C-alpha cells in the first residue's frame, strides 16, 4: 500500500533515531458515508513510539502495517465518545476542537448524539508529534513535511469526502494546499479560505478555518456551516 510506504520511509524514516515521539494515522469511523472529513494540525499527546520499533526499514514496515490494520470490531472513533466528560486524563468535552466538530457533524452528516464521531474521517497535517503533547517543532515539521503532504493527498483521494474541513488556520494548511486554488476572501471572523479539492470525477468542498481554541463556539460553527453552503460542489 502506497500510504504505508510513505508513512514508513518518508515520515518515520527521518525521525527513526529520535525519542519521545508519537505517530498518528487517519481514523475512519464505521458509519462514515463520505460526508465529512476533518483535519487538525497534529495530535496533542498520543501513544509513544519506541525507537526500537522503527530503527530499521523492516521494523518500520511491520510497525506501520500493524498500526494501519483493524485492531478489533470497535469503531476507531469510539474513543471520542468514551472520553467525553471523562474525569482524569483527556476529556474530549473540554476540547474546543471536538466540541465544534460535534456540531458540524450533526449538521453535515446523519450523526446522532450517540454515534456522531463514527460518521467522520479524522486526520492531521503532521503525523509525528511529541508524545507528551504540543505541536511538532519547526524542525520536526520540516523533516516529515513532504511525506505528510503526499500522505494527506492520498487520504483525501481515498476517503473522497464531500466536505473537507481544516481546523488549522490558513498558515498551517497553506503549504499542503499548493495544488488547488483557494479563495482567500475571509467569510466572517473564523473562515480564512474556501475552495475545492479534486477527487476523481468530482471535487470536495473545502473550508479552512481558524483553530477553534478560545473562539466563540456558536459563531465559529455558524461561519463554517455557512461557508460550506457558499461553496457548492461544481457541476459534473
Residues 95-106 have a mean pLDDT of 98
> pLDDT value at position 186?
86
Confidence band for 50, pLDDT divided at 50, 70 and 90: confident
Q: In b/e form, how buried is each residue of 170-192, taking b as 16+ CB within 10 angstroms?
A: bebbbebbeeeebeeeebeebbb
Of 161, 64, 151, residue with least CA distance to 104: 161
Q: Answer yes or no: is pLDDT of 87 > 90.
A: no
Confidence band for 41, pLDDT divided at 50, 70 and 90: very high
Cell 513532504: give the residue.
Answer: 146
Residues 4-29 have a mean pLDDT of 93
* pLDDT tens profile 137-190: 999 999 999 999 999 999 999 999 999 999 999 999 999 999 888 989 888 999
Q: Where do the structural domains in the chain lie, given as residue ranges?
A: 2-229
Q: How far apart are CA 109 and CA 10, in angstroms?
A: 34
For the whole prediction, is pTM greater than 0.85? Answer: yes
Confidence band for 1, pLDDT divided at 50, 70 and 90: low
Q: How far apart are CA 23 and CA 74, in angstroms?
A: 20
Q: Answer yes or no: is pLDDT of 96 > 70.
A: yes
* pLDDT tens profile 117-130: 999 999 999 999 99
CATH topology (fold) of 2-229: Uracil-DNA Glycosylase, subunit E (3.40.470)
Amino acid at each position: 500500500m502506497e500510504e504505508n510506504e510513505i508513512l514508513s520511509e518518508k515520515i518515520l524514516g527521518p525521525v527513526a533515531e529520535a525519542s519521545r515521539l508519537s505517530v498518528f494515522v487517519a481514523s475512519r469511523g464505521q458509519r462514515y458515508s463520505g460526508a465529512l472529513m476533518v483535519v487538525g494540525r497534529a495530535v496533542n499527546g498520543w501513544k509513544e513510539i519506541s525507537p526500537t520499533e522503527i530503527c530499521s526499514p523492516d521494523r518500520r514496515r511491520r510497525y506501520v502495517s500493524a498500526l494501519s490494520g483493524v485492531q478489533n470490531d470497535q469503531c476507531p472513533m469510539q474513543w471520542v465518545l468514551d472520553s467525553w466528560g471523562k474525569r482524569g486524563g483527556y476529556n474530549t468535552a473540554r476540547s474546543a476542537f471536538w466540541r465544534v466538530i460535534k456540531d458540524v457533524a450533526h449538521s453535515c452528516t446523519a450523526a446522532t448524539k450517540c454515534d456522531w464521531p463514527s460518521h467522520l474521517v479524522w486526520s492531521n497535517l503532521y503525523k509525528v508529534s511529541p508524545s507528551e503533547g504540543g505541536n511538532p517543532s519547526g524542525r520536526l515539521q520540516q523533516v516529515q513535511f513532504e511525506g505528510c503532504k503526499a500522505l494527506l493527498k492520498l487520504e483525501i483521494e481515498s476517503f473522497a469526502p464531500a466536505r473537507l474541513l481544516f481546523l488549522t488556520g490558513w498558515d498551517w494548511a497553506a503549504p499542503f494546499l499548493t495544488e488547488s486554488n483557494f479563495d482567500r476572501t475571509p467569510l466572517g471572523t473564523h473562515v480564512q479560505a474556501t475552495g475545492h479539492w479534486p477527487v476523481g470525477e468530482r471535487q470536495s468542498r473545502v473550508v479552512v478555518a481558524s483553530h477553534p481554541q478560545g473562539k466563540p463556539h456558536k459563531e465559529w460553527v455558524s461561519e463554517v456551516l455557512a461557508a460550506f453552503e457558499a461553496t457548492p460542489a461544481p457541476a459534473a
